[in-house]
């Protein structure tokens, strides 16, 4: 007699379900951003996400300064840290331009993958992580996300200004050193 497995005896762990930790967490963040946007609006959602980004930026900054055994990172170390931290989380950031007063970075791959598309408030994570690290070490930063995968661009263009100045960019965010 041939043995067949009935539907209620099918092994669950063998099912072809696209679910693993990384995609689950990315989807979770996307849904949280979407819920925030729907409940409080896009500007307020960006504000909430920026608070989280600032806290994460402080943690990452401390980790790099501890690993490098320095009290503060210099401009070149800040640049390298910004690129390295994104590389570690599967971003693909690179230097487009670097001057004393700014670092311009490009990006070919968002750490959130396709889950970022249509969710620009998630870019506040990048803005706040970059801004908090640069400001804490160099005294000041103003971050402008000129292009973003989340907004439909093929890549990102992020300008980290290191010197205060006037800006007409409405989405530029300023960051200042908190600790002496």
pLDDT, tens digit, 9 for 90 and up, residues 124-148? 889 999 999 999 999 999 999 999 9
Calculate mean pLDDT across residues 20-32. 84
Structure tokens at 118: 């249509």
Q: Give the helix/strand (H/E) hosting 126.
A: helix 123-138
90: left (phi over 0), alpha (psi -120 to 50) or beta: left
Dist CA 80 CA 49 (whole Å): 24
Looking at per-residue pLDDT, the higher value among 168 and 15 belongs to: 15
Per-residue pLDDT tens over the stretch 38-68: 999 888 888 888 888 888 989 999 999 999 9
Select, from the ranges 149-158, 160-169, 171-180, the one with the highest average predicted confidence (pLDDT).
149-158
Task: Name, in order, each residue with C-beta under 8 angstroms of 6's C-beta and a sequence gap of 6 or more.
Answer: none
Residue 3 has pLDDT above 60, yes or no: no
Dist CA 73 CA 137 (whole Å): 5
Mean pLDDT across the chain, nearest whole number?
A: 89
User: How far is CA 28 from its chain centroid?
Assistant: 15
Dist CA 93 CA 57 (whole Å): 16
Residue 107 has pLDDT above 90, yes or no: yes
pLDDT of residue 53: 81
pLDDT band at 103 (very low <50, low <70, confident <90, very high): very high
pLDDT of residue 42: 83
pLDDT band at 2 (very low <50, low <70, confident <90, very high): low
Residue 73 has pLDDT above 70, yes or no: yes
Q: Find the Cα–Cα–Cα–Cα dihedral 45, 36, 25, 13, rounded to 10°.
A: -170
Domain ranges of the chain: 20-176
Q: Which residues pair with 158 in a beta bridge?
A: 105, 145
Q: In residues, how long is the chain?
A: 180
Q: Which of 49, 59, 71, 74 is nearest to 134 (CA)?
A: 74
CATH 3.30.1380.20 correct for 20-176:
yes
Q: Which of 122, 168, 118, 160 is nearest to 141 (CA)?
A: 160
Angle at 25 between CA 19 and CA 29, to 5 degrees: 130
């Amino acid at each position: 007699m041939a043995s067949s497995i009935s539907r209620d005896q099918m092994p669950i762990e063998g099912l072809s379900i696209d679910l693993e930790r990384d995609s689950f967490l990315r989807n979770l963040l996307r849904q949280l951003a979407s819920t925030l946007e729907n409940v409080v609006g896009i500007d307020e959602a960006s504000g909430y996400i920026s608070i989280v980004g600032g806290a994460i930026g402080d943690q990452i900054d401390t980790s790099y300064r501890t690993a490098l055994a320095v009290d503060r990172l210099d401009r070149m170390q800040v640049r390298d840290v910004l690129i390295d931290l994104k590389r570690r989380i599967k971003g693909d950031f690179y230097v487009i331009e670097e001057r004393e007063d700014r670092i311009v970075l490009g990006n070919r791959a968002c750490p959130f993958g396709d889950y970022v598309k249509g969710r620009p408030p998630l870019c506040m994570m990048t803005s706040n992580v970059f801004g908090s690290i640069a400001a804490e070490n160099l005294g000041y930063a103003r971050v402008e996300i000129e292009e973003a995968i989340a907004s439909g661009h093929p890549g990102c263009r992020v300008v980290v200004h290191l010197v205060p100045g006037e800006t007409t960019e409405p989405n530029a965010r300023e960051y200042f050193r908190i600790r002496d």
